[in-house]
A and B are shown apart, each in its own frame.
Chain A
Amino acid sequence: MTNVGYIIAAYVITLGALALYGLHLWSRMRSVERQLTVLTADEGRHYGRQ
């Protein structure tokens, strides 16, 4: 590996890991928002029954 290879490896690994973590956060956010939408809809139905 030449020095250029080391430089590219360092940048690709670091930036790639940060991008993947960003995607992971986005996916978790969407998942918890969906869960909340379902729960609040259930809550609304529950109070609607009373």
Chain B
Amino acid sequence: MIGRHLANGLGILALLAVLVGLYMAFFYAPADALMGDVQRIMYIHVPTAWVAFFAFFVVFVSSLVYLWKRLPEADRLAYASAEIGALFTGLTLIDGSIWGKPTWGIWWTWDARLTTTAILFVIYVGYLMLRSFIEEPDRRARLAALVGIVGFIDVPITYMSVLWFRTLHQPPSIQRGGSSMPDTMLFTLLLNVGAYTLVYLFFLVKRVRIESLNAIAETLVAEKAVHD
């Protein structure tokens, strides 16, 4: 388990990285030639979307590990990552919508990328609801792992939706062939992706620790009930 000092160090590093990322988004990166300053929303929209995808990948892998090895730690990791991933997906939808209004003239459209992202949000909110409905820990972990594995199918669909379908949403900012952005914009974007990944890792460490302490508390309560 990661020590408290290391976790707090990670938190301070994440905060500093976010502050540097903010500075770069507003004072280092140039305004977009077509969209102007409103394109600066990209430096928060793309990182939140990336973190959401990464968080759900962690849910997917931890769920597989849980079904294979039945490790409670893997279940706790999946739970923590799903909660943070759902938060980041919600934020991606909100800041994307705010960016959409001045760019497309609408807050929302049932475009392939937006729709698949909304479905992703619903899947993982459903995952969290499922966990809260089932009392029995083994059954809860088993069913949640199944949803965590099947639900992940929507992540590559969401990512590829802008390439597979005709959409309003722009194609990926960074692709295998490189990026169409100038280096200053690309560097700012990558730094922000790193910063929000650190925020995710900090939240993950804290959230997993809360679950581990909860498990210890539940064991102590059960032992106390037996002794009394």
CA A36 – CA B212 in complex, angstroms? 11
Which DSSP category, helix, strand, loop or mixed, fits chain A's interface?
helix
Which range contains the number of B residues in contact with the other chain?
35 or more
Asked if A3 meets B102 with Cβ closer than 8 Å, knowing A10-B44, A13-B95, the reply is: yes
A-B contact count (CB 8 A): 78
Ranked 5 nearest A-B pairs via Cβ: A10-B95, A39-B220, A3-B38, A10-B98, A32-B213
Contact between A32 and B203 (Cβ–Cβ < 8 Å)?
no
- Give the dominant DSSP class at B's interface: helix
B84 contact set on A, CB distance < 8 A: 21
Rounded to whole Å, the gap between the CB of B89 and the closest CB of chain A is 12
B78-99 near A? 1/0 per residue, CB < 8 Å:
0000001001001100110011
CB of B224 within 8 Å of the partner chain: yes
From known contacts A14-B44, A32-B213, A36-B213, infer whether A9 and B206 are also in contact, taking CB-CB under 8 Å.
no
Contact with A6, one of B41, B209, B216 (Cβ below 8 angstroms)? B41
- Asked if B166 is an interface residue, CB under 8 A from chain A, the answer is no
